[in-house]
Amino acid sequence: MTTTDLAIPFFPPDLFEGDREVLLRLLRETGTAPGQQFILGEQTALFERELAERLGAADVVACSSGTSALTLALAAMEVGPGDEVVVPAFGCAPLASSVLALGAVPVFADVDPWTMVLDPGEAERRITGRTKALMPAHMFSVMADLPTFAALAGQYGLRLLEDSAVAQGGVLAGRAAGLWGEAGVYSFVQVKTFGMPGEGGAVVTRDAGIGRVVRMLRNHGQDGRTRFRHHRIGWNSRFDELQAAFQRYRLPGLAGRLARRAEIAAYYTERFAPLAGRGIQAPPAAAPERDGRCFYVYTLLAERRDELAGHLAARGVASHAYYPLALPRQPAFAPLARPGDDWPAADRAAEQALSIPVYPHLTDPQVELVADAVCEFATN
């Protein structure tokens, strides 16, 4: 039995089922429009403007992926050869590879043992004379402590890039995810909270200057006015018109979908609170008004993680172990690790983190079934 055969899959296979007619109409409209503009046209510009207005950002620049958004934003912050960027030791590969793509070196710092996001004290310990930037990332359901990272960046004169790829719609201390750093990023890949049927991402920023540079960098360093005049060494990281039109159509429903995710997460956290002494730790309960929370996935720390996953599968519930190796333990990045450095919390997260379904169109009985299955495992 594969996970897709389970009664409750980890990611819904019918994510865009209700949008099929609209998507087909937009495909026809885009494909038959007289302008034949398939990338970076009017729909992309409107999509960027609508996101920027909702956020109160100076600029939003749509690009080809969240990974690409990280690279473009780091490049706009002048990160390059010889520079170090402090990144979390637990997380996805782009946290390290985007830095390496620019010839800079990722320096891995440990995460908080409970929330699994970059620990500011651990990040501060890794700052050297070569450190150019800090790059904390929001994770499974808890946003990184950006107020403290902003203070650290100010104190040490560092650039601050917020990997908010999974936190679109999250708010921390009254400020939207993505606007705590000089720049932040979103990812629109299918499984993310504002996912779409394809690849895409965005750089968001409250600094119009960074926005201007990222706009050039995503399109071969051109300024958007004079074609074939290249001011910077750039990339091809452009955005599709069809996807922009589709995302504009889906944008008004985003807040409702995020609220449903938060509702499911709150139910899980309440059900799982008594399991803390029984080898299963739920994320911290959501603060009032969900401050500092985001629910891309919902992740437990389970002492017997693989057994729990097997138990859930036997009850028809798919789960997913994100990042079973800390980044500095990955063959690709291990050579960069400093001798003697260690990341005990990242290693433990890699062994114990297990994510359970939290997507918005889970029904209440499905949510209960998932919670029951977890509780049953912990109390047996």
Distance CA 88, CA 136 (A): 6
Q: Return the residue nearest ligand PLP (CB atom).
A: 66
**What is the smallest separation between the CB atom of 135 and ligand PLP, expressed in angstroms?**
10
Residues 335-374 within binding reach of ligand PLP (CB under 6 A)? none
Residues 147-186 within binding reach of ligand PLP (CB under 6 A)? 163, 165-166
**What is the smallest separation between the CB atom of 304 and ligand PLP, expressed in angstroms?**
26
**What is the smallest separation between the CB atom of 189 and ligand PLP, expressed in angstroms?**
4
Q: Where are the beta strands (DSSP E) in the chain?
A: 59-63, 84-88, 105-109, 131-134, 159-162, 171-172, 175-176, 183-187, 201-205, 280-281, 298-302, 353-356
Distance CA 226, CA 182 (A): 28
Query: 87, 137, 146, 244: which one contacts ligand PLP (CB under 6 A)?
Result: 137
Q: Which of 126, 132, 192, 290 is catalytic?
A: 192
Read off φ and ψ for residue 136, nearest 5 degrees. -75, 155
359: how many CB neighbours lie within 10 A of its CB? 23
- 201 near ligand PLP, rule: CB under 6 A: yes
Distance CA 119, CA 110 (A): 6
Query: 30, 71, 187, 352: which one contacts ligand PLP (CB under 6 A)?
Result: 187
Residues 74-133 within binding reach of ligand PLP (CB under 6 A)? 91-92, 94
192 counts as catalytic: yes
**What is the smallest separation between the CB atom of 168 and ligand PLP, expressed in angstroms?**
11
Query: 22, 39, 58, 189: which one contacts ligand PLP (CB under 6 A)?
Result: 189
Count Cβ neighbours within 10 Å for each residue of 220-230 and write b for 16 or more, e otherwise: bebeeeeeeee
Structure tokens at 229: 């005049």
Active-site residue set = 192
Residues that bind ligand PLP (CB under 6 A): 65-67, 91-92, 94, 137, 163, 165-166, 187, 189, 201
